[in-house]
């Protein structure tokens, strides 16, 4: 049974969301401030964290930053409705997804299940791990590890899913909605910046191609393309 840690100072919300998630088959733990949340996360090593941005004392962004120095646990951030800056900052700092308050618990469950689906490594044939290699990039699918120019690159679950999808289709444009479904488990909506922020993070972490060219191109109005080494634009 997957364990989910809720970090939110609203005890009533924690109780209501916790009961709903327990009914969906998850084990729930809760912390009501940032320090307690960090301690419980590092001690219990949950499978996923639901983290509110607005916390007393240590705020949600600082909690996320401290968690990320020790753990790659998936994090869904809860933000106030309309606070787009908070959502973008959270994703840039390594959150996997976000939900604005108030939210439908069914939507939360859908986001959680999408994260868990992409975290499951595909079965390999025999004992050979699947490794995608293209140019200076290597992706170990089973270990969910990435190396670029021989250097390990830390990616969140969503970032890994985006990169894997684009590399598998290298040289071919992947439509925006298809990429969003693969990485986030939902269609890309007009006002949802999640995919854009995750893509920006991947680009920054990998850097350009060895020749200085773009690694991931945006095909305006269509989607995105991972450039094959040696291909001309």
pLDDT values of the chain reduced to their tens digit, one per residue, 233 residues: 899 999 999 999 999 999 999 999 999 999 999 999 999 999 999 999 999 999 988 999 999 999 999 998 999 999 886 677 888 888 999 999 999 988 999 999 999 999 998 776 555 545 556 899 999 999 999 888 999 999 999 999 899 999 999 999 999 999 999 999 888 888 888 777 889 999 999 999 999 999 999 999 999 989 999 999 876 55
Q: What is the pLDDT of residue 184?
A: 84
Distance between CA atoms of residues 155 and 118, nearest Å: 13
Tell me the three state secondary structure of residue 5.
Answer: strand
Q: What is the pLDDT of residue 215?
A: 96
CB-based contact 229:135 (threshold 8 Å): yes
Same fold? 3-119, 131-226: no
Q: What is the pLDDT of residue 81?
A: 64
CATH topology of domain 131-226: Arc Repressor Mutant, subunit A (1.10.10)
Phi, psi of 6 (to 5 degrees): -100, 125
**Greatest C-alpha distance within the chain:** 57
Q: What is the pLDDT of residue 17?
A: 96
Q: What is the pLDDT of residue 128?
A: 58
Q: What is the pLDDT of residue 105?
A: 94
Query: What's domain 3-119's architecture?
Result: 3-Layer(aba) Sandwich (3.40)
Residue 97, number of CB atoms within 10 A of its CB: 25
**Could you state, in order of their start, the residue ranges of all structural domains in the chain?**
3-119, 131-226
């Amino acid at each position: 049974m997957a364990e989910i840690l809720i970090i939110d100072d609203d005890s009533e919300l924690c109780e209501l969301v916790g009961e709903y998630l327990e009914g969906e088959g998850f084990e729930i733990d809760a912390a009501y401030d940032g320090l307690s949340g960090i301690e419980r996360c590092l001690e219990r090593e949950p499978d996923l964290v639901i983290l509110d941005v607005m916390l007393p004392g240590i705020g949600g962004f600082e909690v996320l930053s401290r968690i990320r120095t020790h753990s790659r646990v998936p994090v869904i951030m809860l933000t106030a409705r309309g606070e787009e800056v908070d959502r973008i900052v959270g994703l840039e700092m390594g959150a996997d997804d976000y939900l604005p308050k108030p939210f439908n618990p069914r939507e939360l469950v859908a986001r959680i299940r999408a994260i868990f689906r992409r975290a499951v490594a595909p079965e390999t044939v025999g004992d050979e791990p699947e490794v995608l290699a293209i140019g200076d990039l290597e992706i170990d699918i089973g270990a969910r590890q990435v190396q670029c120019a021989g250097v390990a690159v830390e990616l969140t679950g969503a970032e890994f899913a985006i990169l894997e999808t684009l590399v598998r289709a290298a040289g071919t444009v992947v439509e925006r909605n298809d990429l969003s479904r693969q990485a986030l488990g939902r269609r890309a909506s007009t006002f949802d910046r999640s995919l854009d922020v995750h893509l920006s993070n991947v680009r920054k972490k990998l850097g350009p191609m060895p020749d200085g060219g773009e690694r991931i191109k945006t095909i305006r109005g269509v989607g995105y393309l991972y450039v094959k080494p040696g291909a001309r634009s």
